[in-house]
Each structure stands twice: as C-alpha cells, then as structure tokens.
Chains A and B, each alone.
Chain A
Amino acid sequence: MDKTINQKAWFLVLPVFAVVAFSAILPLMTVVNYSMQDTFGNNQFFWNGVGWFKELLDPSTDLGGRFLASLGRNLLFSAIILAIEVPLGIVVALSMPREGWTVAVCLVILALPLLIPWNVVGTIWQIFGRPDIGLLGYTLNTLGIDYNYVSNEFDAWATVIVMDVWHWTSLVALLCYAGLKSIPDAYYQAAQIDGASRWAVFKAIQLPKMNRVLLIAVLLRFMDSFMIYTEPFVVTGGGPGNSTTFVSIELVKIALGQFDLGKAAALSLVYNLIILIVCWVFYTVMTNAGVERPAKKGGA
C-alpha cells in the first residue's frame, strides 16, 4: 500500500514543537550547559567537563556527601510514606459506603486535604506541632511526651511523615475507591455463593481489580514524595541539622543559597534521571505482574 506523503502535516506539529521547545527543551539544555561549567558570578563561566558529576557521585567530597545523604533520606521518606499510605488508602476505600448520601459526604471530606495548597499544609502543621501554641505539640507535651520537632530529629521526621500521610492518603483512597466501584455486583454475589471469606473476596476480586489504579497511585505518590519540597521546608526548614533535608531542599540550597549553578545543574540532572528510572522500573514491574507466567503447580 502506498503511503500518502503530505509535507503540510509539519505545520500541524510545529506549534506544539515550538511550545515544547520553549517550555521544556531549551530550559533542559540550559541546565545541561550549566552542569558542564563553573561560575563565580558576574556572568562568567568556565568549562568543567564532567567534574561536577564525578564529585556528585563521590561521597568524600562536600557535594557528593550532601547529595548522597539527602538522597538516602529521601528514599527512606518515600518508602515510609508508601508503606503507610497505600495500605491505609486501601483500607479507607474498602470501608467507604458503596451507595447512599454518605458517599458524597465521604468524598468531600477525603478531597479536602487535597485541595489545600502545599505551603498552607506546611504552615498548618508547623503551627499545629508547636509545643507552645500548637494543639498537637501542646497536648503531647502536657501528656508528658517530650515532643519538639525543632530540636528532635525523630519528632521532625514523625511530623513530616504524619503530615504527608494526612495530606495524600486521600488520593490513594479515592483512586482505590474508583477501582472498587467498577466491580460489578455479580462478582460479590458469586463470591458469596462460592463461600468466599472476606479476606478471600479481597484477595481474589478486589485487589486484582484495583491493580491498575494502585499502579497509578504508587507512581504518583512516589514521584511526589521524591520531589517533596514545600511542606518540609515550611515545617522544619530541613532541620534539625540536616535531618529532614531532602534532595530538592539541598538542591535549592546549592542553587539559590550558594549560587553554585554548575553543581546544582548537575545535581538536578541526576535527580531527574533517578526519578525517570525508578518510575520506569515501577511501571514495568507492576504491569508485568499480571502477565501469565508458566504454570508451576498444574491444576488445582
């Protein structure tokens, strides 16, 4: 079959190409450009090759040490909030009513934290946790628990994690709820007739049907938590010490605090690459999870 060749089609692609070039490709290339150079201000740049990248991956240098430490903290943070938010979101979705006016009430309540701007979330928790005037901090201290997120690393972590769980579990719950709603009643009736227990219903029907939305939920939550900046910055400012300094906070310190554009550019490229790779791995693993494997046990 002959393909119709029509060069005019380029004109249709052109506007998108121009927009993407200005919004994504040019800025990205600028970052690539910076990452190869060093500057001492005054708009003077010096060629540095892959020097920054070498330093970045070497824990004995200042840049590498700070980067790898913040990366470790960030991965730990993402792992903890995923481990809490995904199961919790599923439980919330399962315990939501399936019909009636209470559905609307539940949805609105769940959506509320998602609608609050991130820096406001941070401010809310910053005040909420203060031992002198915050409801949470004051109550805990009155109860005899020495809670102070400004001076205690564990308290700072706990505050940031609880804040993220409060802010984002709703998203997982709403996605799971949508997945659950799409299961036809006949499945539940058949499971009843087959004598399935509550756990068997969850394992055989609900979880497999939620597979797709869970994949999306995990991806979104990983990316967001790995790029988290605003909320911990507002609450702890990365402290005490460097204990809650995540990669994005470190990046901003280097880029805007020290004005080390070369180091910051190299860091953000590596940061970007990590996010891409992890998402790709997640996606591949989870989409292949449902694919038929050669049967190991044969029949029943």
Chain B
Amino acid sequence: MARIDLVDLAHSYGGNAAPPESFALKPVTMTWRQGGAYALLGPSGCGKTTLLNLISGIVTPSRGKILFDGADITPLSTQKRNIAQVFQFPVIYDTMTVGQNLAFPLKNRGVPKAEVDARVKQIADLLDLTPYLGRKATRLTADAKQKISLGRGLVRSDVAAVLFDEPLTVIDPELKWQLRSKLKALHRELDLTMIYVTHDQTEALTFADTVVVMHDGRVVQSGTPAELFDKPAHTFVGYFIGSPGMNIVPAAVSGHEARVDGHTIGLHRNYGVLPAGTKIEIGVRPEFLHVAAPASGLLSAMIERIDDLGRARFARVRVGDEKFSARMPPGFSVPDNMVGLVFDPAHVHVYADSRLVEGVA
C-alpha cells in the first residue's frame, strides 16, 4: 500500500533521443492516492498500457521517476517493486491447481503456509472460486481463468497497487457486469490501490473514483466521472466520454457571447477577449442542447436523422457545415425537419486550441 507519484515520467520505445512528438508517453507528473480506484481511459495506442507497464516495471522509462511513498523505485526490477498486475488475456500456470495458482505469488515470496492458505481461501471466497480450488486450472472456461488471474493479482495484501490491463476483454458481456461490480466490491473490501486500464468508458466510469483520460500519449484530464462529464478539460474528453459525445463547433467568443453561423448564443461566464490566432470552439453536451419548434431567437437547424436510444432520443442536426447532436424532448415531432436549437448556457464551454478556457463568473 502506497502513494504513487510520477515525476516528469516519459517513455519512448525509440529511446530518449527520439523526437518529443514520437514519445509513447509524453512527460506526466501526477499522484495516485493510496487506496484509490483509478481508471486509465483512452483509445488504443494512447499510451495507457505503456504507463501501466512503466509503473509495474515491465518497461523502464526513458525519463523521469516513479516514487512509491516517496521512495524512488524507478531502477528496481518488477520482482522488487511491490506491484501486482492482471493482463488482458488470462495467464494460468497449467500444471497447478486453482489453489496453487492463487498461492503462487505468496509462495514465491516465502509467506508462511498458514498465512498463504488463509489468504487464498479469502480471495477464492470473494471471487467464487472456492469449489474449484482443488481442480487443475487448464480445463476451466476463459472467464474462470481470468478470475484466477485476477485472484493472483489480489492475493498479496501488501502490494503498492494492483494494475489491470483491460482484464475483461475476454469475458462475455453479461459476466463483465458481474465481474466489474465484484472488482468494485473487492476494492472496498481489500483497501488496495487499483489502476484499471480500459478503452471502454462504461467500464472506466463504473469502476473508478478517479478517471484519468489519456490521448496521444498525454494525460488530458483526471477527475471524477461527474467532472469529466460536466466539465471536460479537453475537447477529446468531451467527445470520447458520453454517448453521443459532446458537440464541438468553431465559434467566435467575446464577453458573454458566442457566435455560431451568424447566430448569437448566450454564455454563463465572461470570457473577455480570447488571444488571437488560437482555434476557438464551443462545446456542449447533447444532454444540454435540445430541439424546439423554429423560432426567431433560436439557431435554426435541419434534422438529418433521429437516433432512438431507448431511454432518450437524439436528433442529428445540421447547421451550415456543422453537425450537432441534440436531445429531443419526449413527444416532440417536426413537420418539415426544420427546428430551432435551445442551448443551456450553464453547460456551454469554451475551448481554445482544444483546451478548456475558464471564464469569469
């Protein structure tokens, strides 16, 4: 158990001399709280697995330091770091029983037998593996195998953190839910720091207290699910999280107003005069933008398609060359596909070069 600090940590598979833009992980400085449940969220190739492998020591960083409780562990090997990791595909020691598999990490560290047995029993109970303890691990189903891998990750009580690298990829969808809530329960039960890598926003948002969103080798935002939803710090977070993603359109912003396609939208905060030469955009989530009958004060748009998601309907509309997703109020229908868009000013954000600009209230 430990607090983990990353200090100016960066990695390039091409070595330190590689151009900065080619780094798989661009310099990052951040702190992981002891006992926290973190998710590292991002699309494939964004550097999240690299970051995970740096923490576990499978990869040695090109630059920067990793501290566990303030102690620099960057040069230590994986065995000497106190880390557990669960991989994308189940890793099972074929010749051992399920129980022996679970006990393996403890035995290798010379933990007394009584303690090993007690801990294996506890973990097996938590993961519903008790009936299988005496069975050979080879013949089990993929999800049972992955549970064993999870169990091996969780079995050590003294680890600084447990790292999960997309551990539910091979699991059937309905079992995914069960295992995810199981993991969440385990986190509360065992008081371990957990870092969970995924490209699935639902997984990240349901598992973690803190979601760290990565994009192109950078950490673009780290916050609670609500923060990521309400106030994306980067346009990438805006459209990567949420379904459908945030509407982001170029606009001209000054003071309390944004102009889109010749139409003025009121803003909740004062943005003064934004620096020239930057790309100014506004972002609004489809949940805070709804369609209404065309009226003179509204930005007029044309409906191209309506997506019925069951719990809500979203209209895909077009304003000039820009496309928006907007909520359709229940029972709303339009005769000729022309509608007006109603913005919720409190939830319209302004971005300069993709980064959030804080206005003045």
Chain A residues proximal to chain B, CB less than 8 Å: 184, 186-187, 189-190, 192-197, 200, 203-205, 207-209, 290, 292, 295, 297-300
Contacts and interface: CB of A to CB of B under 8 A. Distances in A.
Contacts of A298: 99, 133-134
A208 B152 CA distance: 19
Given A208-B94, A300-B120, A190 B99 contact: no
Given A299-B120, A300-B99, A193 B89 contact: no
Contacts of A194: 104-105, 108, 152
A300 B85 contact: no
Contact of A208 (B83, B95, B104): B95
B85 A190 contact: yes
A205 B79 CA distance: 17
Given A204-B104, A208-B95, A300-B103, A189 B79 contact: no
B338 interface: no
Given A189-B87, A193-B78, A193-B83, A299 B99 contact: yes
B109 interface: yes
A186 B104 contact: no
Contact of B78 (A192, A200, A203, A204): A192
Q: A189, A193, A204, A205 — which one has the most chain B CB atoms within 10 A of its CB? A: A193
B148 to A, nearest CB: 11
A299 B136 CA distance: 11
Contact of B104 (A189, A196, A297): A196
B84 to A, nearest CB: 6
Given A189-B58, A193-B78, A295 B87 contact: no
Q: Across chains A and B, which 7 residue pairs bring their CB atoms closest together, nearest first?
A: A295-B134, A299-B99, A300-B103, A195-B108, A190-B91, A194-B105, A299-B133
Contacts of A193: 56, 78-79, 83-85, 105
Contact of A184 (B77, B89, B108): B89
Given A189-B58, A299-B134, A300-B102, A195 B97 contact: no
Contacts of A204: 93, 95-96, 104
Contacts of A208: 93-95
Contacts of B99: 298-300
A292 B96 CA distance: 10
B70 to A, nearest CB: 23
B317 interface: no
Contacts of B87: 186, 189-190
Given A300-B116, A300-B120, A195 B94 contact: no
A207 to B, nearest CB: 8
Given A298-B133, A299-B134, A300-B117, A187 B96 contact: no
A189 B58 CA distance: 7
Interface in B169-214: none
Contacts of A205: 93
B153 to A, nearest CB: 8
Interface residues on B, range: 35 or more
Given A186-B89, A208-B95, A192 B117 contact: no
Contact of A292 (B100, B103, B124, B135): B135
B121 interface: yes
A293 to B, nearest CB: 8
B109 to A, nearest CB: 5
B139 interface: yes
A290 B120 CA distance: 24
Nearest to B83: A193
Contacts of B109: 195
Given A190-B87, A200-B108, A204-B104, A295 B117 contact: no
Nearest to B85: A193
Contacts of A187: 91
A292 B103 CA distance: 19
Interface in B103-141: 103-105, 108-109, 113, 116-117, 120-121, 124, 133-136, 138-139
A295 B93 contact: no
A195 B120 contact: no
Contacts of B124: 299
12 contacts: A186-B89, A193-B56, A193-B78, A193-B83, A193-B105, A194-B108, A195-B105, A200-B104, A295-B135, A299-B121, A300-B116, A300-B117
B348 to A, nearest CB: 45
Contacts of B84: 193
A215 to B, nearest CB: 15
Contacts of B89: 184, 186
Contacts of B113: 300
Interface in B56-73: 56-58
A292 B94 CA distance: 11
A21 B84 CA distance: 62
Nearest to B163: A193
Q: A189, A190, A196 — which one has the most chain B CB atoms within 10 A of its CB? A: A190
B79 A192 contact: yes
A269 B134 CA distance: 47
Nearest to B100: A300
A125 to B, nearest CB: 39
